Amino acid sequence: MRPNDRKYLKSHEWCKVEAGIATIGITDWAVSHLSDLVFLDLPAVGTKVKAGQPFGEVESVKAVSDIYSPVSGEVVETNAELPDALDTLGTDPWTAGWMIKVRVQNESADLMDAKTYEKHLESEA
Amino acid sequence: MRGAGHGALRVVRGDDDRPSLQIARDVALLHDSAGATLRLYGWRPTGLSIGRFQDAAAFAHVDRPHELVRRPTGGGAIWHEADLTYSLTMDDDASVPAEAYYDAIHDALVRALARCGVRAARTHAGGSHPGPRAIDATWCFARPCRGDIVAPDGRKLCGSAQRRLRVPRPRLLQHGSIVMRASCVTPFCASVADQTEPTAIRDALCDAIAQEFALALNTAPEPGALTAIELGRAQQLAASIAIPAFAE
């Protein structure tokens, strides 16, 4: 079971909102499907992100994929160490593998709880 | 391999054209089209395409005339002087890892090459993919990675890369280049010319690729053309894909 203290997108990002700040990352399922990660591009602090739109990109085995934002708002912090420590995503995608923190204006209407996300994974299998 | 849905594989055999326009057409098909499309094309003038995250300045030493473009896909730089490029855009299955698409498409390419008398194989002995910092100055063809297509002497003959979208719907672009004749800029490539005259088999190779890709997708090839909407969208995108000479 994935952590139930956060919400999920079908595109395999998670967000955990505390005091108006969303911490955002990608799920263990996404990481397991992105083998041999070589590059992660994250937005700068101050960037405005929009729910459902890409905020970053990741490259693995010469395949580039977008990372989508679960919320709209302004980036207030990025995990600056993560692009140089991509193994962290494999070992701890839920805490140390966070990517950005966003001051939330509004959340995506497509966010799911952990149980619904698990069912979505079953349907994709 | 799924991806064509219930439709045929549209096969678009294009003329040689500007590198920025060729990449822009691939991007337009990825974002704005439905179904599966295979494009087969060449490059004129000569192009140098770099991977999504590569540093253009790392290739500033290349002094032969070319148009420099950035691909939306990963991997290393490619010198497009005398190559045949394929691009496959289709609906994606998010549960399929990138390697599975490489395997299926590269197997189809190996069969197509064999039908034209060109011996090639997917390598299982290649190195791992370059690390985060190493990709900056890497040529795609300098060193085969696992799953790449190599000539009998082990040198790389074809390299591919992907872009995957999840939103608004899952779509995949995989494109790659078959070296028809090696250039002095990238002399380490294997080429079709090592085994046969490239111009003599180019048309037959295009036919064979279309047939083998359609077989891999469990559908039929259907000759077609890009729509006016797709061409217009590509024209709009082309300016953002060309990199002004060493401006980065």
Digit-coded pLDDT (tens) for B132-159? 555 566 899 988 888 899 999 999 999 8
- The per-residue pLDDT for B33 is 92
The contacts of residue B134 (CB under 8 Å, 6+ apart) are none
Q: Is the Cβ pair A61, B164 closer than 8 Å? A: no
Q: What are φ and ψ of residue B138, in 5° steps?
A: -90, 135
Q: What is the DSSP letter of B139?
A: B
**DSSP three-state, residue B47:** strand
| Share of residues in chain A with pLDDT > 70 (%) | 100
What is the model's pTM?
Answer: 0.92
Chain B residue closest to A83 (CA)? B132
Q: Is B189 a catalytic residue?
A: no
> Over pLDDT 90: what percentage of chain B?
79
A111 and B CB contact within 8 Å: no
Residue A85 touches partner B, C-beta closer than 8 Å? no
Which of A57, A65, A125 shows the shortest C-beta gap to B95?
A125
SS3 content of chain A, % helix, strand, coil (to 5): 20, 40, 40
B127 pLDDT higher than 70: no
**B246 part of contact set with chain A, CB < 8 Å:** no
Length of chain B: 248
